[in-house]
Amino acid sequence: MRDATAIVGIGNTEYAKALDRPEKVLALEAILAALDDAGIDPADVDGLASYTMEGTEEIEIARNLGCRAVTWFGQVGYGGGAGCGVVGNAAMAVASGQCDVAVAWRSRKRGAAASRPWAGVRDRVGGNQQWSRPWGLLRPVDEIAMLTRRYLHEYGGSREHLCNVAMAARGHANRNPAATMHAKPMTRDDYFAARWISEPLCLFDNCLETDGAGAVVIVRADRARDCRTRPAYVHSWAQSIPLDHQTMTNFFTDDPLRGPAWDCAAKLWAGADVGPDDVDVAQLYDAFSPLVLLSLEGYGFCGRGEAPGFTEDGGIALGGRLPVNTSGGGMSEAYVHGFNLIIEAVRQVRGTSTAQVPDAEVSLVTSGEGVPTSALLLVRR
């Protein structure tokens, strides 16, 4: 299905700590914006793709948009690992003819206190969580802090390199008026003065808490050429659950620092005419800064243990070896389960990013590392 489909519409709400409209309304706003961007009538939408964690059901979207007949719909699980898989599955449905106009979206009011990780947590924790939560390993940040400490022990690297990730994202956000942190520059001193959350991770190693929604529209390549925007062709996409993987608390495999990104990357590159060296710009899922280091290695931009060095000397900032998270990403633009990263990957192919990589032709976006994941390779034609 190489280049058989394309993203022809992108849309998002504003991003903020707290928005007054419900998630359903935010979802509809983002989807309408994406359809308007593409120049496609909402009635023509016949495919709907979302996350299992999405709070607005397909039927709500369909009956609000006035979709004549939805003939394909599907969801992908595992939270932040889902995003590229949601778009990829929609592209597959379009390519195979199950639908002609697919919309993928994510809407989230994470800033609300009721959606915090332990809202509604009970005295007893079951399933996989019984092997971690009772000992006070409570939050996603703790799960990643555990892997990070081991990474730094095995490979060297230091908080300076985590700071490089946070600083690159913030610098890009400072160029992006839509980014939550647009007007808030950050210095290295700011980073090192921040309070601990879960050592070795501090506040600025964490993503934002954001209310907002994003959506994309996917059609076949022949139809894409008639849309009003420059198509971002879906060149390759992949998902992965590696051997013996346990989501988030992936401490029990032979090699916990080799996460789902590695198998996802192998599948992604096997389906592509290009490789890591051809990628012009990457949006690497950044719920936490160390995930960017793991993803740089997993997707083959450097060898294992080499990601800290890769971030040095502006390596992942605009103008560097590989500009990463050019909208500000989850850490400085918005945290919408990675959907804003997908939208930014499209902007780069169109040439409309606020941190535009000149003549970007090959644009990678990845979903969460450390959970069953996915990735999407978009190209300009």
Partner 1 sequence: MTDAAEAGPFDGMLKPAIDDDSRPFWEACDRGELRIQRCAACGVRRMPPRPLCPHCRSFETAWDVMSGRATVWSVLVAHPPLLPAYGDQAPYNVVVVALDDDPSIRLVGNVVAAGDAPLDSIDPHTVEIGDAVTVAFRRLADDVALPVWVPA
Interacting residue ranges for partner 1, rule: CB under 8 A: 118, 121, 123-128, 130-139, 142, 145-147, 149-150, 153, 195-200, 243-244, 246, 249, 251-252, 254
Of 118 and 177, nearer to partner 1 (C-beta) is 118
Of 248 and 355, nearer to partner 1 (C-beta) is 248
Residue 186 CB coordination number (10 Å): 20
Question: Which own/partner pairs from 315-323 qualify as long-range (CB within 8 Å, at least 24 positions apart)?
Answer: 315/164, 316/164, 316/165, 316/168, 316/292, 317/167, 317/168, 317/171, 317/172, 318/171, 318/172, 318/175, 318/355, 318/357, 320/168, 322/279, 322/281, 322/282, 322/296, 323/172, 323/281, 323/282, 323/355, 323/357
Contact 206, 116 (CB under 8 A): no
Q: How far is the CB of 116 from partner 1 (least distance, A)?
A: 8
Of 43 and 193, nearer to partner 1 (C-beta) is 193
Q: How far is the CB of 138 from partner 1 (least distance, A)?
A: 6
Q: How far is the CB of 159 from partner 1 (least distance, A)?
A: 13
Q: How far is the CB of 150 from partner 1 (least distance, A)?
A: 4
**Bond before 200 cis per omega within 30 degrees:** yes
335 is catalytic: yes
Of 7 and 248, nearer to partner 1 (C-beta) is 248
Residues facing 220 on adjacent strands: 5
Contact 48, 75 (CB under 8 A): no
Exactly one of 51, 78, 151, 285 is catalytic; name it. Answer: 285
Of 199 and 273, nearer to partner 1 (C-beta) is 199
285 is catalytic: yes
Strands 47-51 and 72-76: parallel
C-alpha pair distances (Å), 199 with each of 139, 150, 203, 286: 13, 12, 10, 17
Q: How far is the CB of 23 from partner 1 (least distance, A)?
A: 23
Exactly one of 51, 191, 233, 335 is catalytic; name it. Answer: 335
Q: Which positions are catalytic?
A: 285, 335
